[in-house]
Structure 1
Amino acid sequence: MDKILIATTNKGKLREFRQIFAQTGIQILSLDDMPERVDVEEDGKTFMENAVKKAEGYGKFYKIPVIAEDSGLEVEALDGYPGVYSARFYEIDFGEKEPVKKDKDTANINKLLRLLANVKKREARFVSVAVFYNPYEEGLIAEGECRGKIALQPRGEKGFGYDPIFVPEGYTKTMAELEPEEKNRISHRGKAVKKLISMLSKVYSLPI
């Protein structure tokens, strides 16, 4: 196995996958590298459902090994929201929708901070489920989480998504203020993908 398709067009996610897989010798492809495009709808009610659906859908279509990852932010004060709606929280009618003035990430952050404006309990966690699917063999699943709290305002330029307002446990910096190597070491996605690589190494003898 010398190539794996990462089922995403998110440049931030793709960058992190390539950083984490750098020592394995495996070429990481994205959906933008595929000659023909097929869309798999993420309509699951859990991160697991979405990740499995994407991995199987793209794996069967392209006939190559695929890793699909679904992740999001769960805020205790909002009963676990945005959760599976993290990427499009701005458009979910949670009180009211948030206009997209700059980009979707900023709209999501603005909405979350508005909802937590007068909330002191700001505990939250990032959750990631990564699924490996090979059309000719059995699949693998790994999960990871990173607990922390929501900052009062965005800080940092190094991350994406909700990184500028998420402060991991034991840190004073937000995810977006951390260097990539440090973020990948503690992040939900980093943990899930490293677990997956460990599983893959036992099957395909990857150098890790």
Structure 2
Amino acid sequence: MDKILVATTNKGKLKEFRQLLSPLGIQVLSLEDMKQKIDVEEDRETFLENALKKAKTYGDFYKIPVIAEDAGLEVEALDGYPGVYSARFYGIDFGGKEPVKEDKDKANIDKLLRLLKGKKNRKARFVSVVVFYKPEDFGIWTEGYCYGYITEQPRGDRGFGYDPVFIPEGYSKTMAELQPEEKNKISHRGKAVKKLLKKLEKLYSTENPDLQGLDRTGQQI
């Protein structure tokens, strides 16, 4: 395996994946690097189902190993929303739609803070489900969580998405105020990818397919 496709066009997410996958020492491509373009709608009800759909669709189309992720923010006081709708929270009916004045990330944050205004319970967690799929061979998946709470105002200019309003447990800084290396150690995505790398190392060193996720034919267990 000399190259792998990370199924995203999100530059912030791609940057983090490239940092996290650097131990593999292989070329990391994004969807922007592919000449033929296809769209995969994230229309499933769980993070795992969305990640599996993307991994298999892109892997079978491009015929190269793929890493696909679905991730999001779950807020306790909002019954788990935005959840799988995290990237498009501003545009769904739950809590009313939010106008996009600057960009979608800002609109998502504005809506989140509006819905949490006056609420004492601001507990939340980031969730990441990562799927590795090698066409016509096998697939595996892992998950990672980062627990914390939502601030009342955005802080920091690093990261992306909801990072400016999320403070991890045990920290006083938001995700957007942390250095990338520090964030990757504690983030949901960092934890999921590290688990994935360990599973891949085990698989390639022992050729043991008895791993969480998919069997060697790519069928979901």
What range is the shorter-chain TM-score in? over 0.9
CA–CA separation in structure 1 for the residues paired with 2:5 and 2:202: 19
Letter aligned with residue 68 of structure 1: A
**Residue aligning to 1:195:** 195
Matched residue type, 1:142: T
Matched positions, count: 205
* TM-score (ref. length: structure 1): 0.97
1:71-127 CA distance string (max 9 Å, x none): 000000000000000000000112311000000000000000000011010000000
Structure 2 unmatched runs, 5+: 206-221
Per the alignment, residue 124 of structure 2 pairs with 124
Q: Which residue of 2 aligns with 1:53?
A: 53
Give 1:78-117 correspondences, 5 Å limit. Answer: 78-117=78-117
Query: Under a length normalisation based on structure 2, what TM-score does the superposition of the two structures give?
Result: 0.91
Amino acid at match of 2:24: T
CA distance in structure 2 between the partners assigned to 1:204 and 1:194 by the alignment: 15
Q: Following superposition of structure 1 onto structure 2, how do residues 158-177 of structure 1 map, counting pairs within 5 Å?
A: 158-177=158-177
Q: How does 1:149-160 map to 2 (within 5 A)?
A: 149-160=149-160
Q: Distance in 1 between matches of 2:71 and 2:42?
A: 12
Alignment of 1:128-139 (within 5 A): 128-139=128-139
Q: Deviations over 1:186-205 (max 9, x none)?
A: 00000001111111122335
> Percentage identity across aligned positions?
73
- List runs of 5+ in structure 1 lacking aligned partners: none
Q: Provide the rounded CA distance (Å) in 2 between the counterparts of 1:196 and 1:28.
A: 15
Q: Distance in 2 between matches of 1:189 and 1:133?
A: 17
> Which residue of structure 1 lines up, in the alignment, with residue 15 of structure 2?
15
Name the CA distance, whole Å, in 2 between partners of 1:28 and 1:36: 17
> Could you tell me how far apart the structure 2 residues matched to 1:95 and 1:8 are?
28
1:37 aligns with 2:50: no
| Structure 1 residue 18, shift from structure 2 partner | 0.5
Whole-Å separation in 2 of the counterparts to 1:91 and 1:41: 16
How far apart, CA to CA, are the structure 2 residues paired with 1:179 and 1:80? 28
Q: Secondary structure at the match of 2:24?
A: coil
Query: For residue 180 of structure 1, what is the aligned residue in structure 2?
Result: 180
Q: Given the alignment of the two structures, is residue 3 of structure 1 paired with residue 16 of structure 2, yes or no? A: no
Matching of residue 71 in structure 1 with residue 71 in structure 2: yes
Q: CA RMSD in A?
A: 0.8
Counterpart AA for 1:53: K
Match of 2:219 in 1: none
Distance 2:61 2:95 in 1: 39
- 1:138: how far off? 1.1
Aligned to 2:138, the other structure's residue is in SS state coil
Q: Identify which range, 119-128 or 20-29, moves more after superposition.
A: 20-29
Q: Give a deviation string over 1:20-54, Cα, whole Å, max 9, x none.
A: 11222111000000010011111000000000000
Distance 2:23 2:70 in 1: 23
